[in-house]
Structure 1
């Protein structure tokens, strides 16, 4: 993991091709299996993977009582290569006041049949960056990448 004053970055090699990692990221039934660290459960409310499309997930510790997790808007989609979303906008570019302001940039790079998966979380100020770091960015995002790899290997 790397950090500067406004950005946190984590990168891993996933032992599956970008097309499979893309499938795990973009298909609701797969995405729900890895997006939040286990044992917490995820439910996708909205996932319109087009620029301006809404992105909303809920989480639950018991699998029944789901609470808001992420609400945002996709900014850029490049199939099998790049996903950019933000929590400061919702569907249709509507301004939003999230519990954590950030823009995420996810890149998938083919490296000999595997995928270099890089996730960046960009923040508006060092305070938000530090808040995200203190919440467990490395552990949480690292755990979800591990879960993504496990699922991608099953899908491959």
Structure 2
């Protein structure tokens, strides 16, 4: 697998994405867990994290807002997308497990949108890092909903930004 290609598949209630990043595991792990890193890459191209409050510990919450800053994205320009993650398990440098919710600015979860259980695994590979993101949704319909919302493109662009970022800060 080339380092810049992502494997993305949706099957049943799961979405799995994998990619190898040309950076050490410790750096890639920190990029997912510290606000100063997340603000540099999280979200599709043209979007920025305008709010990023992260309490990175089991039982902790990450509450954030992605805002479209790119006027070329038409109706999305100025749009805010709020989300909240509740961390349940952390193995330093290796694994992060959390429940991912759509939310509002106050952190109330959006009951009309599917939540997912995310397991992120960080695997050392000859100085590079393979990241596996496994998301389990309540139903196959929920998977269909997020795929139709553009999940694959958003994921690809976000991880492209992460690849560029971790290579730039080594």
TM value normalised by structure 1: 0.87
| Conserved 8 A contact 1:28-1:44 | no
1:79 aligns with 2:79: no
**What's the CA shift for 1:44?**
3.7
Question: What SS is found at the alignment partner of 1:32?
Answer: helix
**Relative to structure 1, is the Cα distance of residues 43 and 105 closer, same or farther in structure 2, using a 3 angstrom cutoff?**
farther
Structure 2: gaps (5+ residues):
1-7, 71-77
1:60 to 60, 63, 67: 67
1:19 aligns with 2:34: no
Task: Tell me the number of residue pairs that the alignment of Structure 1 and Structure 2 aligns.
Answer: 153
Listed one character per residue, the Cα deviations across residues 100-143 of structure 1 (whole Å, up to 9, x for unaligned) are 31111111100000000111221001110111111122211111
**Relative to structure 1, is the Cα distance of residues 25 and 87 closer, same or farther in structure 2, using a 3 angstrom cutoff?**
closer
Cα root mean square deviation, aligned: 2.4
1:119 aligns with 2:152: no
TM value normalised by structure 2: 0.80
1:10 aligns with 2:17: yes
2:117 to 88, 94, 103: 103
**What's the CA shift for 1:97?**
4.2
